[in-house]
Amino acid sequence: MARNLFLICLAFALAPFATAQALVPMPAQPDGQAWPTAGWETGELPPETADTIHALLDLAMVGNRDDLGGETRAVVIVHRGKLVAEAYREGFGPDTRQMSWSLAKSVTSALVGRAVQLGLVQDIDAPLPGVFAADDPRASITWHQWLTMTDGLNYNEFNSDQLVKNDVARMMYGHGRFDVIGYIRDSFPLAYKPGTRWNYSTAGFSVVGRALQGVIGLNGWCSTVSSQNGCAPDDVPMAAWIRQALFDPIGMDAQPEFDAAGTYLGGSHVWASARDYAKFGLLYLRDGVWDGQRLLPEGWVDMTRSAPPGDATDFYGAGFWLTPAGEDAFYSQGHEGQTIWIVPSRDLIIVRLALMEENDANWNADLEWNRDLTRAFPEVGGL
From CA 314, how far away is CA 108, in angstroms rounded?
21
pLDDT of residue 22: 81
Distances in Å between the Cα of 301 and the Cα atoms of 20, 115, 252, 317 are 13, 14, 19, 10
Q: How many domains does the chain have?
A: 1
Distances in Å between the Cα of 242 and the Cα atoms of 65, 122, 145, 281 are 33, 19, 22, 17
Contact 75, 85 (CB under 8 A): yes
In 202-247, alpha helices (H) = 202-218, 238-242
Output the 3-class SS for 274-310: HHHHHHHHHHHHCCCEECCEECCCCCHHHHHCCCCCC
Radius of gyration of the chain (CA): 20
Residue 249 C-beta-side C-alpha neighbours within 13 Å: 20
Q: Range of 111's domain?
A: 5-375
Contact 66, 362 (CB under 8 A): no
| 10-residue averages of pLDDT along the chain (383 residues) | 37 36 91 97 98 98 94 98 98 98 98 97 97 98 98 88 81 95 98 97 97 87 55 65 96 96 95 98 98 98 96 97 95 97 98 96 97 97 58
Contact 239, 216 (CB under 8 A): no
For residue 338, the cross-strand partners are: 334
From CA 271, how far away is CA 95, in angstroms rounded?
11
pLDDT of residue 61: 97
Secondary-structure breakdown of the chain: helix, strand, coil percentages, each rounded to the nearest 5: 35, 15, 50
What is the 8-class DSSP label of residue 42? B
Judge whether 167 lies within some domain. Answer: yes
Pairing state between β 321-322 and 348-355 = unpaired
- Look at residues 277, 275, 302 and name the one whose alpha carbon lies nearest to residue 287: 302
From CA 139, how far away is CA 330, in angstroms rounded?
30
From CA 80, how far away is CA 90, in angstroms rounded?
28
Pairing state between β 348-355 and 338-343 = antiparallel
From CA 74, how far away is CA 86, in angstroms rounded?
7
Contact 224, 186 (CB under 8 A): no
From CA 118, how far away is CA 212, in angstroms rounded?
12
Judge whether 97 lies within some domain. Answer: yes
- Residue 198's identity, in one-letter code, is W
Judge whether 329 lies within some domain. Answer: yes
Judge whether 382 lies within some domain. Answer: no
pLDDT of residue 168: 94
Judge whether 218 lies within some domain. Answer: yes
pLDDT of residue 137: 98
- 74-77: which pairs have CB atoms within 8 A and are 24 or more residues apart? 74/98, 74/273, 74/274, 74/351, 74/352, 74/353, 75/274, 75/350, 75/351, 75/352, 75/353, 76/274, 76/275, 76/277, 76/278, 76/349, 76/350, 76/351, 77/53, 77/348, 77/349, 77/350, 77/351, 77/373
From CA 309, how far away is CA 74, in angstroms rounded?
36
The CATH number for 319's domain is: 3.40.710.10
Judge whether 380 lies within some domain. Answer: no
Judge whether 381 lies within some domain. Answer: no
Pairing state between β 255-256 and 98-99 = unpaired
Judge whether 116 lies within some domain. Answer: yes
